Structure 1
Amino acid sequence: MRMNDFSRRTLLRAGGIAAAAGMLPGVAFADQPGGTSRTQTVTGTLKPDVPDWYYLPVDVPRGVRQIDVAYSYDKPPVPAGTRGNACDIGMFGPEGHELGNARGFRGWSGGFRDRFSISASEATPGYLAGPIEPGRWHVVLGPYTVAPQGLNYRVDITLAFGPEGAPFVPSPTPETAPARERGRAWYRGDSHLHTVHSDGRRTPEQLVADARAAGLDFIVSTDHNTSSSQLIWGHHATDDLLILNGEEVTTRSGHWPAIGLPAGTWVDWRYRAGDPRDFRRFTDQVHRAGGLVTAAHPFATCFGCTYEFAHELADLVEVWNGPWTQDDEASVVHWDGLLRGGRFVPAIGDSDAHHPDQRVGLPHTVVLADRLRRRELLAGLKAGRSWLAESASVQLDFTVSGGGASAGIGERLAAGTGTPVTVKAVVAGVPGTTVTFLDQLGPERTEPIGDSGAATVTWTTYPRYSRWVRVEVRRPSGGPNTTVPNAMVALSNPIFLGPAH
C-alpha cells in the first residue's frame, strides 16, 4: 500500500493531538487464520516545515502475537552548514498516544535502530513486552532534522498471528547492595549512563562490570525516552553495586535525566522549552515519584542537546559531562554565576558513557548519604552534600571551621561576620594539579600540588567577605583524559558562611 505525500491540509483537518503534531494516513489489517503473517507498507514525504511528531495509525485485529516495524528514509546531500535528514521512531498502543499517556507507551529507539519487535514475551531493547491488544496502535515518527529536499520515508508493518507466548516477567533491581553498605559515608556514583536499551553500545551486564571496575558504589541507568531497561536490572545486579533507575528525557530543547525513579516509570519528552507548563508537569511527575531532575550538559554542542529549560525547576545541574571540554568550562562558569546571584542548584558530574571506549565514572559524583539506598543518596545529592571526581583515585576532604563550629560541603557555618573562618582542603591522588579556593568574588587562593599528589591546603576568610566557598582541583597540563588545558580533576559544591537569610 502506498500513501501520498502528507499535506498541511491533512494536519489541520485531523484535530486533537494532530493540531500539535501530524497524523499520517494509516493502515488496517484484517483477521488472519492460523499462524500466518501479513505486511503493509507506508511511504511518503515530509517537508522541512513539519511539526516534531507524526503518528501513523495501525488498526490491529484480534489474534496478533507480534508486531514488527521496520523503517528507512533517504539522506540526500545538503550544502555545508545545512542540516540533513534524521528521523526517530517509537510506538504507542491502543491505550492512546496523548501527551503523558504512560499506559499507551510501548517503546522508543530514536534513530538508533531501523526496526523493532513487540510481543507478549519479549521486545527489542527500548520497547516494552506485553500483550498485543486489538485496537488502533500508532507508530510515531520524529523528524529530528529535515533536508531542504524533504524526507522520503518508508515504514513496513508486519503482524504475526497466532497464540501469545508466555508473559514477560519484570525483574527490577534490588534496593540494596550490602557489600558496599557503610552507613553514613561518602558514596561514589555515576548518574548518567546508557545501554543497548537506547543508543548505548554496552549491554546491561557490560555496564555493571565497567562500573564495578571504576570503583563505584552506585549507578543510575538513564536510557533515552524509555523505561524498558528499568524492568530487567535484577538479572544483572550484584551485591557490590547499587543500580538506580532513571530516564534521560530527551526533548528538542535539551536533555534532562530523571534519576532515582521507581521501576517502570516513564516520563514523556514530546514538548519544547516554549511549553513551560508541560516541562513543569513532568518535573512534578518525577518529584511525586521521589526522583530528581538533572539539567544535563547545559552547553553541549550536539544538535538539540543544549539545556533550554528553567534551571529553577531542576534539582541538579550537570556541570561536568565526560572528559573535560570547553562546554564543561562554560557550564561551571554558568553554575558559578547562578551561585553568585543567590541561586544554588547543586552540581553533579557524570560520564554519560555510551560506548565501551567511553569510560564509566569519568567523571562521577561523591555524595554523603546516611546509607547506600535510593532515598538517602537522592537526599544527599539534592542538598549538595557532594563533590565531583575524575576517578576513584581522587580524594578530597573539604571543610570550614570557626567560632567553635565546623561545616562540610553543602552545609552552612553560622558564624558572625567578623569571625575568622579556616577553609581546609585535604587532597590525595592528584599529582601535578593545583588546588584553588573560590568565593563569590572569584579565585582567592591557589596552591600547586607536587608529585606525591597529596597535600593539606588552608586559607582564612570572614563571613563579611565570603558568602560561600568552594574548591577546584585542576591539572594545568590537561592530562590523559582531555586535550583541554587546566582540566578539572575535582570540584566541590559550596559551603555557605554566615547566618541564613
Structure 2
Amino acid sequence: MSSGDFSRRTLLAGGAGVAAAMLPGVAFAGQDGGSRTRTVAGTLKPDVPDWYYLPVDVPRGVRQIDVAYSYDKPSVPAGTRGNACDIGIFGPEGYELGNARGFRGWSGGFRDRFSISASEATPGYLAGLITPGRWHVILGPYTVAPQGLNYRVDITLTFGPAGTPFEPEPAPESAPARDRGRAWYRGDSHLHTVHSDGRRTPEQLVADARAAGLDFIVSTEHNTSSAQLVWGRYAPADLLILNGEEVTTRSGHWPAIGLPAGTWIDWRYRAADPRDFRRFTDQVHRAGGLVTAAHPFANCFGCTYEFAHELADLVEVWNGPWGAEDEASVVHWDGLLRGGRFVPAIGNSDAHNPGQQVALPHTVVLADRLRREELLAGLKAGRSWLAESAAVQLDFTVSGGGQQAGIGERLPAGTGTPVTVEAVVGGVPGTTVTILDQLGPQHTEPVGDSGAATVRWTTYPRYSRWVRVEVRRPSGGLNAMVALANPIFLGTGR
C-alpha cells in the first residue's frame, strides 16, 4: 500500500485559478497470467486543487484494468459541504488539457469502480487495448469537508490475451419513419443514461422518448463520449438519436449537442480563464455542434452557468418541471433580449431517472429535414418553441404590410406599419396566453376548457422591436410555463 500527504505531491499547471496535483503512484511488474492489485491511500485537505492524477505504470501483457475507490463521509455542520469525489482515467497517450487521445473514461461520483478491456468497458469508459505505459487515474474532489477527505484507490491489472476488439456502433444519421421534410420536429436535447449518472438504460430512454411523441433526442452524458459509440444498437427507424456531451465543469454545465460520434470535449477548467472555454466551444463549432448554457440558475454547487453567454448558441431557460430556477432563467434571457443580444431559448427535461419525465419540457424546431445539420440550423436560428408535452400546440406569427414572419424570423415592416400578432394554441386548457415585447407583457387572454384559442394583438415596429408569447398555468403557487416561443423581430433594424 502506498500513502501520501500534500507535501509529497507535485503541483501541476491547470489554467487560471485551476491547479492540479500528482499523487503518489504505483508500478506493476510484468507476469504471464493472473492478476495483481496495488492500493494508494491518503488524505486531501479542504484547500485542494480541482484535480489529482495518480500515476499507474502498466507493463506489457495486460488484458484488463480495474479500478475501485472509496472515501469517507464524516458528519459536517449544517450549511457546510461534505465530501464528494469524482473519478476517471487517462491512458499513456497523456492527460493534458484537451488530449482526447488519452481520455479513457469518466463516471464522476456515480460509480465506485470501473473496468476497461479491449472488448468492453464499464459505461462511461472506452473499451480498447490496455497499452503499456503510464496511465493516470484522475480524482476530482468536488467538495471537501473541514476534516478533510480520506481516500483509497485499488488498481487491479489482469494479465493475458487482449480479446476481441470493440467495434463502435454509432446511431444512424437519419430516422426515415419520422422524416416529414420541412416540418416542426419535437426533441429533447439534454438526457442521461447509465453511461453517466442516469438510471435509464439506452433501451429505456428510447422507449420513453417514443412514448412521449418525440422525433429526436440528444444523448448528453457528463464528460464522456462512451454512449456515442453504442447508440446504433438501440436506434429505431422512428427516432433520430444525436450525439452530445454535457460538459460538466466546476463553473457550470454546457451541453455540446450535435457532435460527430466519438467526439470528446474537455471539462477541466473554470470560468476564471475564458481562453479555455473559448478553446472548447471553438472545438464544438468546428465539429458542427452547438453550445448550450444549461440550467443557468440551478441551485447546486458547480451547476450554475458562469461562462460568457456570447459564446453560447442556446440558453436552456426551462429544465425539467417548472420551478423558481426556470423563472429566473426566463427573466435573465428576456433581459438579454432587451439588451439586444438574442441567444435562442431551448427547453429540455434533463431526465436522469425513470421517475423523471422525458420531454418535460422539450423543444419544437422548424427544420428542412429530420437530420442533424437541419435541426441544428433551426435551433441556432431560434426557429423553435418550448412545450411541456406533445399535447401542446402553438402557431405564432406576425403579419403586416402584405408580409408574414414566424418564430425566429424578422418582419421588415416600416415603423408606422400596423402589425398583427397572432398566437393559435391547442391542448392547453386552464391556461393564459400572454404576448410580450421588450417593454414586458402587452396582451393576455385566458384559454377555456376546450384548450384551444386564437389570440391577436396589434402593434407597430416603432413601439415593439420584437414580440414573443408565453402560455402559463397556475400550479402549486407558481405560474408554470406550458409553452414559450422564441421571438419574432419587427422592423428593418437589428
Q: TM-score range by the shorter chain?
A: over 0.9
Residue of structure 2 in register with 1:493 after alignment: 486
Note the 1:66-465 alignment, pairs <5 A.
66-465=64-463
| Deviation string, structure 1 residues 121-159 (Cα, Å, up to 9, x no partner) | 000000000000000000000000000100000000000
Matched length:
493
Tell me the amino acid that sits aligned with residue 127 of structure 2.
A
Residue of structure 2 in register with 1:4 after alignment: 4
CA drift of 1:288 comes to 0.1
| Alignment match of 2:472 (pick from 468, 471, 474) | 474
Tell me the amino acid that sits aligned with residue 414 of structure 1.
P
CA distance in 1, matches of 2:160, 2:426: 63
CA drift of 1:20 comes to 2.6
CA distance in 2, matches of 1:460, 1:292: 35
CA distance in 1, matches of 2:237, 2:10: 53
CA distance in 2, matches of 1:321, 1:82: 27
CA drift of 1:426 comes to 0.4
Tell me the amino acid that sits aligned with residue 124 of structure 1.
T
Q: Which runs of no fewer than 5 residues in structure 2 stay unpaired?
A: none
Tell me the amino acid that sits aligned with residue 2 of structure 2.
R
Percent identity between the two aligned chains: 86
Residue of structure 2 in register with 1:22 after alignment: 21
CA distance in 1, matches of 2:19, 2:442: 52
Tell me the amino acid that sits aligned with residue 464 of structure 2.
S
CA drift of 1:303 comes to 1.3
CA distance in 1, matches of 2:486, 2:14: 46
Residue of structure 1 in register with 2:30 after alignment: 31
Q: Cα distance 1:484–1:292, how it changes in 2: closer, same or farther (>3 A)?
A: farther
- TM superposition score normalised by structure 1: 0.97
Q: Cα distance 1:134–1:236, how it changes in 2: closer, same or farther (>3 A)?
A: same
CA distance in 2, matches of 1:435, 1:142: 46
CA distance in 2, matches of 1:147, 1:302: 16
CA drift of 1:251 comes to 0.2
Structure 2 residue matching 1:170: 3-state secondary structure: coil
CA drift of 1:231 comes to 0.2
CA distance in 1, matches of 2:268, 2:477: 35
CA distance in 1, matches of 2:383, 2:2: 59
Give runs of ≥4 in structure 1 deviating > 4 Å: 14-19
Tell me the amino acid that sits aligned with residue 294 of structure 1.
T
Q: Which runs of no fewer than 5 residues in structure 1 stay unpaired?
A: none
Would you say 1:41 and 2:39 are equivalent positions?
A: yes
- Are the aligned partners of 2:88 and 2:106 in contact in 1 as well (CA < 8 Å)? yes
Structure 2 residue matching 1:258: 3-state secondary structure: strand
CA distance in 1, matches of 2:287, 2:308: 20
Q: Cα distance 1:79–1:42, how it changes in 2: closer, same or farther (>3 A)?
A: same
CA distance in 2, matches of 1:145, 1:423: 50
| Deviation string, structure 1 residues 321-369 (Cα, Å, up to 9, x no partner) | 0000000000000000000000000000000000000000000000000
CA distance in 1, matches of 2:260, 2:477: 38
- Are the aligned partners of 1:325 and 1:484 in contact in 2 as well (CA < 8 Å)? no
- Are the aligned partners of 2:14 and 2:269 in contact in 1 as well (CA < 8 Å)? no
CA distance in 2, matches of 1:401, 1:264: 45
- Are the aligned partners of 1:249 and 1:267 in contact in 2 as well (CA < 8 Å)? yes
CA drift of 1:296 comes to 0.1
Tell me the amino acid that sits aligned with residue 405 of structure 1.
Q
Q: Cα distance 1:16–1:353, how it changes in 2: closer, same or farther (>3 A)?
A: closer
CA distance in 2, matches of 1:359, 1:332: 21
Structure 1 residue matching 2:337: 3-state secondary structure: helix
Structure 1 residue matching 2:378: 3-state secondary structure: helix
CA distance in 2, matches of 1:377, 1:331: 23
Tell me the amino acid that sits aligned with residue 101 of structure 1.
N
Q: Cα distance 1:209–1:484, how it changes in 2: closer, same or farther (>3 A)?
A: farther
CA distance in 2, matches of 1:131, 1:274: 37
CA distance in 2, matches of 1:156, 1:465: 67
Let me know the Cα RMSD of the aligned residues. 1.2
Q: Cα distance 1:353–1:16, how it changes in 2: closer, same or farther (>3 A)?
A: closer
- Are the aligned partners of 2:18 and 2:269 in contact in 1 as well (CA < 8 Å)? no
CA drift of 1:190 comes to 0.1
CA drift of 1:15 comes to 7.0
CA distance in 2, matches of 1:459, 1:156: 67
CA drift of 1:6 comes to 2.7
Structure 2 residue matching 1:382: 3-state secondary structure: helix
CA drift of 1:10 comes to 3.0
Q: Cα distance 1:19–1:348, how it changes in 2: closer, same or farther (>3 A)?
A: closer
CA distance in 2, matches of 1:11, 1:339: 47
Structure 2 residue matching 1:298: 3-state secondary structure: coil
CA distance in 1, matches of 2:464, 2:86: 49
